[in-house]
Amino acid sequence: MPINNTMKVWGSKVRKLSGFTAIAAATAALASVAIGPAAFASPSAVNDSTGCSTGVLPSALEGVPASFHSGLALGTWVWHTPSGYSIRDTHPQNRQDVAFSGVVQSATPIVATGVRLEKDDLFAVTSSVVNHHTLYTLNFTFENGGYTDGIDFTSSCASSITFKFRADGALIAPARVLMGASAVPAATNAFTAGRAL
């Protein structure tokens, strides 16, 4: 299966290659970082808002925030739609770059796509075994100049997903982590979004 986009992975690029060649090249370039075939697939078309046996996500996380746009006060925005999750970082355009970073963890495979990333913006999906269970981790770092950097990802029907966000190395205040259509502030940073039956 061909790769349509260049994927940046912590200092290495996986160029436009096909199928197993891309996976082998990524594995060789990353050495100790494990990336499964799911990292190269297109995001799932499954509606994981309503069609999951693991339940539904908190309503506060659902929907694209109408008030979101580039140049807003420093913050991270996170939301979920039927096609997956979105994370966007913002800060005013009248100050120097801010280094945003984050970690997302899930028990189901994560498939990620960068949104409006520049050459120094990086992300990687890794997996590890913890207590006989596979844990998938998405790490990202974006140098934001006042516009919008972000990432879209799926983790199909995960029973819970944990998020943690930083700006210039410090945890972002929970009041600046805004969720869902109503831009609800997070209670804490880090937080876990769990599904309920």
> Torsion angle, CA of 11/119/181/194, rounded to 10 degrees?
0
Residue with the larger pLDDT of the pair 59 and 20: 59
Question: In this structure, are 29 and 123 located in the same domain?
Answer: no
What pLDDT sits at residue 24? 31
pTM: 0.75
Question: In this structure, are 86 and 29 located in the same domain?
Answer: no
Question: In this structure, are 47 and 37 located in the same domain?
Answer: no
Question: In this structure, are 14 and 108 located in the same domain?
Answer: no
**Residue ranges making up the domain that contains 37:** 1-41
Residue 15 has pLDDT above 90, yes or no: no
Contact in structure between 129 and 121 (CB atoms under 8 Å)? no
The whole-angstrom distance between residue 70's C-alpha and the CA centroid of its chain comes to: 18
The number of distinct structural domains making up the chain is 2
pLDDT in tens, 74-112: 899 999 998 899 999 988 877 688 899 999 999 999 999
Question: In this structure, are 71 and 137 located in the same domain?
Answer: yes
Amino acid identity of residue 9, one-letter, is V
Report how far residue 144's alpha carbon sits from residue 147's, in angstroms, rounded to the nearest whole number: 7
Contact in structure between 129 and 97 (CB atoms under 8 Å)? no
Question: In this structure, are 55 and 90 located in the same domain?
Answer: yes
Backbone φ and ψ for 141, nearest 5 degrees, come out as: -145, 130
Question: In this structure, are 33 and 48 located in the same domain?
Answer: no
Report how far residue 13's alpha carbon sits from residue 37's, in angstroms, rounded to the nearest whole number: 16
